Amino acid sequence: MPVKSHSALQPASAPALACSSDIKLSTIGARAWLVEAPGGFDLPAQRRIWSLARLLHADEAIEALIPGVTNLLVLFRHIPADETAVRMQLHAAWDQAQAISPQGKLIEIPVHYGGEHATDLEAVCRHTGLSPREVVRLHHQSEYTVFALGSAPGFGYLHGLDPLLATPRKKVPSLSMLKGTVTIGGAQAGVSALTGPNGWNAIGFAELAVFDPLAASPALMAPGDRIRFLPQRIEL
């Protein structure tokens, strides 16, 4: 599986800065604050989140910064004495944050589309009105960006799914979806990291582990990485 270049973050062009500064702040316990970017599930918002994390990294009062999907969890070392001051600090940092463009490594993932593991391909076709071949074509023609890791060790939330493929997550999850299953969940794409319950829609399978606890870098993906799905086999 080809992996090209190393992760780096570079300033984005001016159009990527066109996000409102009206962030949403909420507390998670006494020491943690969640910063949610305005707008929807889009790349400019995520670039600003990465920039915000970089700006706040130098603050010794902050213990940890955990980027999510268009949000950032800010954990302070101690309970802040002045809530208003924290709000002002986070708003000011957001206004200063210049969107940074992901220049992470390119990960190419061979996929067996269709077949026994694509248990939800028919449901995706019904929802989208597309044929199985059209679903496969639109899925592998896109390039995806890893927004964040979460839900399970090494699981990457992938932005870049063609809007025509967006399919709601299942109301009743599959109880034992295999790790490596290639999925669609709403406007996002993913590769399941563990075998177990999963509410995303399975359209294919990849013979790879996205998380190896014994590896030097346990997670295959990192925020800012780019993902390409390569049709290794199509069984429709």
Summarised one tens digit per residue, pLDDT across range 6-15 is 333 344 433 3
Q: What residues of the chain score a pLDDT lower than 50?
A: 1-20
pTM score? 0.86
d(CA 152, CA 22): 30
List helix spans (H) across 129-175: 132-141
Q: What is the pLDDT of residue 20?
A: 42
Mean per-residue pLDDT of the chain: 90
Q: What is the pLDDT of residue 166?
A: 98
Q: What is the pLDDT of residue 16?
A: 36
d(CA 144, CA 194): 21
Show Cβ contacts of residue 116 under 8 Å, excluding neighbours closer than 6 positions. Answer: none
Q: What is the pLDDT of residues 88-103, one digit of tens each?
A: 999 999 999 988 876 7
Query: Coil, strand or helix: which one is 16?
Result: helix
Show Cβ contacts of residue 173 under 8 Å, excluding neighbours closer than 6 positions. Answer: 197, 198, 199
